[in-house]
């Protein structure tokens, strides 16, 4: 059913929880797991030292990708990795389109009530609302985070 699955990570606990689902799904379908992390350019633009901040963001994104790729490779799943700069939801959607992935897997924090309403602009929500392919959103639970 899926030849390629995209796992988008920011290195958070929510992403770590979603990684297990991405690996299991890729393994079950014999799919390539694409691991992507986006260095959020908006954070760099808001910083005093834009260039140093960009480098730090790219380094953290690369670490998140490497960690996820190592976990997936250890399970025997074929992995392709990428780190990009930009607005995360836009880069995730563009990557999914350009690589022809059949499923996007993202993690999200389990928020309730007012906090949920305040954070309605999350990357996961934007991906879900704008994706033209299936998106699996894995909620970080108290047990996992």
How far is 137 from 78, CA to CA, in rounded Å? 22
* 66 alpha-carbon distance from chain centroid: 13
Q: Which fold has domain 4-118+131-140?
A: Rossmann fold (3.40.50)
- pTM of this prediction? 0.88
Q: Where along the chain do its domains lie?
A: 4-118+131-140
Chain segment 44-92, per-residue pLDDT in tens = 888 777 787 889 999 999 999 999 999 999 999 999 999 999 999 999 9
């Amino acid at each position: 059913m899926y030849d390629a699955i995209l796992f988008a990570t920011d290195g958070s606990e929510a992403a770590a929880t979603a990684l297990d689902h991405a690996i299991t799904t890729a393994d079950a379908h014999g799919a390539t797991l694409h691991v992507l992390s986006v260095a959020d350019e908006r954070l760099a633009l808001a910083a005093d030292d834009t260039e140093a901040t960009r480098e730090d963001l790219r380094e953290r994104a690369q670490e998140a990708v490497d960690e996820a790729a190592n976990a997936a490779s250890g399970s025997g799943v074929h992995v392709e990795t990428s780190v990009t700069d930009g607005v995360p939801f836009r880069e995730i959607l563009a990557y999914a389109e350009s690589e022809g992935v059949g499923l996007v897997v993202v993690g999200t924090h389990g928020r309730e009530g007012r906090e949920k309403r305040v954070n309605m602009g999350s990357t996961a929500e934007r991906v879900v609302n704008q994706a033209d392919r299936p998106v699996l959103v894995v909620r970080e639970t108290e047990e996992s985070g």
